Structures are given as C-alpha cells and as structure tokens.
C-alpha cells in the first residue's frame, strides 16, 4: 500500500494570502467604485531592464538556428554567467568566491527550499527567524526535522525573535544550533545587519560547527556603504556559510526566473563518525541528479546585467522602488508609527501598536489600500504590517494620501 | 555540529559519461585528423520550431513593457498552457484529464526526481526497471529508501529486468510493490508497451494499492497507432498513476526547459492509520512551497506547439529524428544484430553479443563513432549499447558507413 510522507500533515495551512484575497474581494464587491491599491505582495511591477530584453531576443534567435542551437546546458549554469557573477558580485567586493562555487538555478525559493536535503534529517538543531519567509520552516517540517505545531510554533525549533527591542536583528542563541537561516536585507522587515552583527554570527557558527544559510535576495537595495552586500565580506564566512541570491528583485526576474547559490569549496559538514565531507560536492550531486539547468535565453538575460549598461539599468529600477520606499517610510513615520526597512530594502515594517489584522482591515476599508498583516509571518509579526514599495509612483502617492486621511 | 544526509554516501558514483568522455578524449588526441561522430547522448540537435521562437520573442516583448509585464506566475503554470495541454494531449485522446490536474515545471528530470518526497520514507517497496534512467533510483537512495549497493544493485529494491527474453518490457512482479517506475517509450531501450501490457500494470497497481510513476517523455515519437500515448488511455489509470511529460524531446526544449506532470484528483495515498489522502493536494503543497513556476516566455513557447502550425512543426522535427532512427536500426539489423527501439523512439538498443564497453571501444576506435555502453544503465544493460538518432542526416549516414566498414 502506497503511504504518504506524514510530515506534510504537520504543516499548518497558511491562509495568509488566501485570507487577504477574501477580504479584498469582499471590499471590492461592496465598493465597486473605489479602486484599491495593492502594496501587499512582494512582486515587482516595472518592466525588465532593456539589456535583459535584448538578451532574451538574442537567445531566442540562437535557438532558432542549427549552428547556434543549445541543448542541455550544464546543471550548474553556463560558465559565462557563473564568471560574470563571480566578477560582478564577489571579486568587486573583494570576496574570494570562484565561478565554480556558484550554482545557477531557477529561483532562490527553490534553492532555499532544496538545500536542507543534503543535511541530516534527525537530530539537527534549526535556528529560524520570526517573522520569517515561510519556505525556510515549511521545508524542514516536510522533511521531518520538527515536532508538531503548538501555539503557532513548531516544536524543537530555535526561533530567532526579531522585535522592536532588538531592532529586528535577532540575538545569537545562547545554545548551539546546527543549521541557521538568516535573511538580510530582511523579508518581511526590511532590516539590515551590520558588519559586526554578521561577524558575530560567523564566529558563533565556527564555534559550534554550524552552517549559516544566508538569504541575500534583496541585496540590490542596499545603499548604506557600511552594510555588507555578502556574508563572504566577513573573513572566514566561506567556512560556515551558503549564500542565496536572486535576479527576481535585482532585475525584475520574478516571472523570468533566475537565481544562484554560492557553496564555497571550503565548507564542510560531518557524518555521524565525525568525518568531514565537502558540502560543495553534496550540493553538486544533488543538483546534477535532480535539476537540469536554467533556460538558455534566461541565463543570457541574467548575464546582461553585469555590463556597465546593465548595472546602470538595474540601479535605475531599484532606485525607483527605493524612492517609493522612502515616501512610504516618511509618511508612516509622520503619522506617528515607528518603522524599520525601506532605506536598504523594498519593504517597510510598521509597528502599528495594535492587532495586525485589525490594522490591515482599517487600511483596506478606510483607505482602500492592501498591506500584509505581520502575524502572517510568525508570532513576532503580530502588531506589525508590511508595506511593499513595488508599485507605480502615482499609486504609492495616492495610497499614502488615502492612508493619511483614514488615520487622521 | 552540522551533519550530512548520509544516504548520499550510499550512492554509487556514476562514471558513465565521465568514462565515455575520457575515452573519447584519448581517441581524439591520438587521431586528430579523424573527426568523431557522437550518437551517444540523448540531446536534440535541431533548432526550436518556428512557432516557439516567435513565442519567445513575444514573451520578451511583453516583459519589456509595464502594461504587459508579468511578475510571479502561478506555481502550477499559467492557465493558458495547462488548458492547451489538457485539450491537445488528453481530450484529443479521450482522456478525462483536466487543466487543474496538470502541473507545469522546468523539467521532467526535476519532477520525476522530486515526486518521491510526498511519499513515505520507510517501508515503501520500490519497483524500478533495469536498465534505467538513473534519476529514479538515485533520488530514492538519497531519500533513504534503499539499502547499500551490493553487486551493482541497491538492496531492498525490486528490479524490473528488461531483457531480450521479455523483449525489454518487464514482467509484473510476483510480490506486491508500492511505488512503480515505468518509462515508455523507454530510455534507454526505445521499447514501447502495448495497451494490454499497460492495462496489466494498472490492474496490478489497483490490486496492491500502489502508484505507477509513468514517464512518457518520448511520447512524441510514437507512430504505431495501437500504442497508447498516455497511461490514462487505460480505464482506471487515473486512480493509480502519475504521468510525466516533457517538451524537451517533443519540441527540442532541452535547453529551453519546460515539462509537466499530471496528478489526477482521484489519486489517493494512505497514512499509517489507513486514512486516504489526495496525492494532488500533496503535490500542490510541495510545488507551492518549493517551486515558483516556469519562465513566462518559455510557457508561451510551450503553448505554441498546440496550434495546428505548431503540431505540424513538431511532427516534422520528430519525423526527422525517426528517419535517422530507421536508418540506424536497419543498418545494425543488416549487420546481424538484434535491435529494439528506433520505430517509436529516438533510441536503438542493440544486443551486441559481447561486453558493452568492449563494443563501445570497437565503434570508437575503428569507426570514430560514440555510442553509450548499456552497462552504464544497469546490470541488464550489459551486452548492449544505445545509439541515439539525435544528429544530422549526413552524420548518421557517415557513422553507419564507418560502422559497417569497421565490423566487416
């Protein structure tokens, strides 16, 4: 008899976006003449950079001729893209990451979801932020690394609380943990970590022989020169950290699909006899067995952003969203709320001082603006909402005017 | 201390393509003036159909404008593609598969690798063909469903021997098994299964409450009208089977990346108390959590093959490879070998009557032709080689001439 993976039964159904959608539909039905403005979902709205569009066309043309046709590419990504990434994102920041430590993929969601497969299933101690991108925790629940969910938290997990008290950058646990998820600039809070804070995490991981999974999907929004772009700017991080990056928010690839993961060759993990194994070799084996590379035109488009022209176009797009973010943060601060994010991230995390669904309903019903209730991202998200800067300037300005009137 | 998934240590390293590449390099170095012809790898060589190239351009153009820009799409694929598949591949064959039972992905390799995650890890009895596409077995080894490898076989697996005696279509096991991998038209043998043979598998799966994972990646090469295109042509198969399909070989998408998996809503699996659960719901949860959809221009390109023009172009490409296949099968038969495949598949499986690596070396060194030694696909592949029809007509003709001379 075929049996299911019963760990799936432990998953708490996430009704967050379904709930939002239900409440929005009810509002729209009751107010057909009041168009809503969506600042909830973290999806880009501006077109692809021109260099990427050109590269997609070039890729399509190459696939149309026998002489330039491309069949299966390397599972790890084409050399031209891996080398562009190594030079543009790492050598440029004095990080000694080589092209063959970079694994190109179709999304940071997939990579951050799949990476746990190469680690042990039982006995691993997980450290996971709260609030959090749900993929980190859900994929570990599916793999059987947690107990049941009790009072909104899975048993056996060390939650890293991100609160107003620690300015949404979690403290290092007092006990050892083995697999640590960190995300900076953070989704959902928009908080960033300083060099000193990251150095303390790297030191903790070294002391405990743990591995940090560092999600840097929003790195393109960092403008503060003192904030590290990569965890590998911290000396020794290549012995304890895997880094996830994406073209989704950097270059508007949410619908185009390309990302990459860095697994340094120095990184080791251990078997039950204490023998060390290369994590790079394990991930390579995983990817070669279960993945078949990224669409060739898409890889060409990703590589295009590393030209001088591409870099300027990417900066223009991210600057645009950051200008939206600054408007939102200023407006919400002027209304008396304390906020984090929006300066080096496209998200503004607002401490509403009340129930997060209540505040969501207030913005929806009084201002016709959709945000995301913080409680949907974890226990510590209660009392907060996330507002996203991904929209047109006109919509952001109109939304802020309506919010100010609604809260007056 | 971070520990590894020790199941990876059980994996037998696959040296097949590395070994081939080493021997080919040695030959090329020793014979710089004798260009080799590669009929080994199962990768397409002809350009994309025109309808697909046009659709890729259209997709790039849509992403270049704010009004038509596409961000995150549905994890399960766009409705336009799922509906085109349901109509073109299923309704057209009187299979009652609906659009929402179709999950679009970036590759049948990924899907056939990932599907095992939703089933139990221990106590499941696996039935896996030999010779075989290595992904089926390796992903189960990684998940801990097998014992160690002893004498080329993982302990605890029911191997389905495909031999000259059964004409390379395996017999149904005498004992119950839970998760059954079948692939028709077969890689590597090119064999196909009749309606009666598939009906017997469906009856076996029903009797044992097992699930069949049916890999139909090569379906576009079937020309015999009596051979089922889909396992859902067998009544009741929607209660026991998942089907994998790909645009890789159908439309030359090996470098473009698009595939799909059908999980019927009727399909059930059980928890340890015997309660039934929807496999569709489990796979949907898996995909929504770990996958983020396929590149929008690529989905447009895949949908393009379902127009009348697209169907004609796909037929033209697959006809071309099948004409190569017929030349190869005829030539090898004329040389006295018994062969299977090549009539409804792009692979010809040749019973060489000697060690498969010895025959590989003979073709390489005497004819400058690269094939794939059958032993690389499993114990039952010994004594055989696979020759692939994916090449230009001129190269196939030249290769066959050289082989005839070498074996004369």
Q: Which of residues 196-215 of A touch B (CB under 8 A)?
A: 208-211
Q: Does A44 touch chain B (CB under 8 A)?
A: yes
Q: At residue A262, does pLDDT exceed 90?
A: yes
Residue B298 above 80 pLDDT?
yes
Pick the CATH number of B52-306 from 3.40.640.10, 3.30.70.360, 3.40.50.620, 3.30.700.30: 3.40.640.10
A119 touches chain B (CB under 8 A): yes
Position B13 pLDDT exceeds 80:
no
Question: Residue A179 has what pLDDT?
Answer: 98
CATH fold label, A52-307: 3.40.640
Task: Say what the pLDDT of residue B408 is.
Answer: 87
| Per-residue pLDDT reduced to its tens digit, B153-199 | 999 999 999 999 999 999 999 999 999 999 999 999 999 999 999 99
Residue A19 has what pLDDT?
Answer: 87
The beta-carbon neighbor of B6 closest among A61, A134, A271 is A271
Q: Quick check: B285 and A113 CB within 8 A?
A: no
**Residues in chain A closer than 8 A to B6 (CB atoms):** 120, 271-272
Q: Is the pLDDT of residue B271 over 90?
A: yes
CB contact under 8 A, A8 and B297: no
- Residue A16 clears pLDDT 90, i.e. is over it: no
Task: Give the model's confidence band at B18: pLDDT under 50 very low, under 70 low, under 90 confident, else very high.
Answer: confident
Interval A206-227 mean pLDDT = 98
Spatial separation of the C-alpha atoms in residues B396 and B189, rounded to whole Å = 19
Whether residue B45 is predicted with pLDDT greater than 80 in this model: the reply is yes
Contact residues, chain B, for A254 at CB < 8 Å: 71-72
Instruction: For residue B256, list chain A residues with Cβ-Cβ distance below 8 A.
Output: 63, 295-297
- State the nearest Cα–Cα gap between A267 and chain B, in angstroms: 11
Give chain A's radius of gyration (CA, Å). Answer: 22
Mean pLDDT taken over chain B: 97
Question: Count of CB contacts below 8 A, A vs B?
Answer: 257
Domain B6-46+309-407: give its CATH code: 3.90.1150.10
Contacts of B315 (CB under 8 A, 6+ apart): none
pLDDT band of A90, cuts 50, 70, 90: very high
Give pLDDT, residue B81.
98
A47: which chain B residues are within 8 Å (Cβ-Cβ)? 63-66, 69
Residues of B in contact with A178 (CB under 8 A): 1-3
Shortest CA distance to A300 belongs to which of A9, A15, A52? A52
Q: What is the pLDDT of residue B54?
A: 98
Instruction: Give the pLDDT score at B19.
Output: 87
pLDDT, one tens digit per residue, over A191-209 is 999 999 999 999 999 999 9
Q: What is the mean pLDDT of chain A?
A: 97
Mutate to test the interface with A, among B1, B80, B142, B291 (most CBs of A within 10 A): B1
Minimal C-alpha gap between B204 and chain A (Å):
12
CB contact under 8 A, B178 and A1: yes
Q: How do the domains of chain A map onto residue ranges? A: 6-47+309-407, 52-307
> Which residues in B lie closer than 8 A to residue A282 (C-beta atoms)?
4-5, 8
Is A284 in the B-facing interface, judged by CB distances under 8 Å? Answer: no
Question: Is the Cβ pair A289, B138 closer than 8 Å?
Answer: yes
Do the domains spanning B6-46+309-407 and B52-306 agree at the CATH topology level? no
* Distance, CA of B105 to CA of B213 (rounded, Å): 16
Which pLDDT score is estimated for B321?
Answer: 98
- Residues of chain A contacting B56 with CB distance shorter than 8 Å: 56, 59-60, 63, 297
**pLDDT tens readout for residues A136-150:** 999 999 999 999 999
ipTM, two decimals: 0.97
Query: Which percentage of chain B shows pLDDT scores above 90?
Result: 96
Checking if the pLDDT of A13 tops 80, the result is: no
Residue A72 with chain B: CB contacts under 8 Å: 41, 43, 254-255
* B307–chain A nearest CA distance, Å: 18
A257/B142 touch (CB, cutoff 8 Å), yes or no:
no
**CB–CB contact B56 A297 (8 Å):** yes
pLDDT at B135 over 80: yes
pLDDT value at A18 more than 90 = no
Q: Is the pLDDT of residue B268 over 80?
A: yes
Task: Using an 8 Å CB-CB cutoff, list chain A residues near B65.
Answer: 47
Chain A contact set for B295 (CB, 8 A): 106, 255-257, 295, 298
pLDDT bucket at B17, cuts 50 / 70 / 90? confident
Tell whether B16 lies on the interface with A, counting CB pairs under 8 A.
no
Question: Are A66 and B46 in contact (CB < 8 Å)?
Answer: yes
> Measured between CB atoms, does A237 come within 8 Å of chain B?
no
Percent of chain A with pLDDT over 70: 100
Mutate to test the interface with B, among A53, A60, A271 (most CBs of B within 10 A): A60
Q: What average pLDDT does this structure show over B71-85?
A: 97
Distance from CA of B40 to the nearest CA of A (A): 14
B117/A209 touch (CB, cutoff 8 Å), yes or no: no
Q: How far is A246 from chain B (nearest CA, A)?
A: 12
- Asked which of A48-57, B26-35, B103-112, B277-286 is least confident by mean pLDDT, the reply is B26-35
* pLDDT bracket for residue B41 (50, 70, 90): confident
Confidence (pLDDT) at A405: 96
B396, B331 in Cβ contact below 8 A?
no
The answer for A 151-180 residues in CB contact with B (under 8 A) is 178-179
Q: What is the pLDDT of residues B196-230, one digit of tens each?
A: 999 999 999 999 999 999 999 999 999 999 999 99
CATH architecture of A6-47+309-407: Alpha-Beta Complex (3.90)
pLDDT tens for A93-120 read 999 999 999 999 999 999 999 999 999 9
């Amino acid at each position: 008899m075929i049996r299911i993976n019963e760990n799936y039964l432990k998953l708490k159904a996430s009704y967050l976006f379904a709930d939002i959608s239900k409440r929005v539909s009810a509002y729209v039905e009751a107010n057909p003449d009041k168009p809503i403005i969506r600042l909830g979902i973290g999806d880009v709205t501006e077109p692809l950079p021109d260099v990427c569009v050109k590269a997609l066309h070039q890729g399509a043309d190459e696939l149309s001729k026998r002489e330039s046709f491309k069949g299966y590419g390397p599972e790890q990504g084409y050399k031209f893209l891996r080398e562009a990434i190594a030079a543009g994102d790492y050598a440029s920041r004095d990080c000694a990451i080589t092209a063959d430590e970079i694994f190109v993929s179709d999304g940071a969601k997939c990579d951050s979801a799949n990476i746990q497969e190469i680690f042990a299933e039982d006995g691993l101690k997980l450290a996971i932020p709260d609030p959090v991108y749900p993929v980190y925790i859900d994929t570990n629940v599916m793999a059987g690394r947690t107990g049941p969910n009790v009072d909104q938290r899975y048993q056996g997990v060390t939650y890293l609380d991100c609160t107003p008290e620690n300015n949404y950058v979690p403290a290092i646990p007092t006990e050892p943990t083995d697999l640590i998820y960190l995300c900076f600039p953070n989704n959902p809070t928009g908080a960033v970590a300083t060099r000193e804070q990251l150095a303390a995490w790297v030191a903790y991981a070294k002391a405990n022989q743990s591995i940090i999974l560092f999600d840097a999907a929003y790195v393109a929004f960092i403008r503060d020169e003192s904030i590290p772009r990569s965890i590998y700017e911290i000396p020794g991080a290549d012995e304890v950290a895997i880094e996830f990056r994406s073209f989704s928010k950097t270059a508007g690839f949410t619908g185009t699909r390309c990302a990459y993961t860095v697994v340094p060759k120095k990184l080791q993990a251990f078997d039950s006899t204490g023998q060390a194994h290369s994590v790079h070799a394990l991930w390579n084996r995983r990817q070669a067995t279960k993945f078949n590379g990224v669409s060739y035109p898409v890889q060409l488009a990703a590589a295009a952003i590393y030209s001088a022209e591409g870099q300027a176009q990417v900066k223009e797009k991210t600057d645009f969203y950051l200008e939206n973010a600054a408007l939102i943060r200023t407006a919400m601060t002027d209304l008396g709320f304390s906020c984090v994010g929006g300066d080096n991230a496209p998200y503004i995390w607002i401490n509403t001082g009340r129930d997060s669904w209540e505040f969501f309903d207030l913005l929806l019903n009084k201002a016709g603006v959709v945000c995301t209730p913080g409680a949907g991202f974890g226990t510590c998200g209660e009392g907060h909402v996330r507002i996203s800067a991904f929209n047109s300037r006109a919509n952001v300005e109109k939304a802020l005017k309506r919010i100010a009137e609604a809260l007056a």
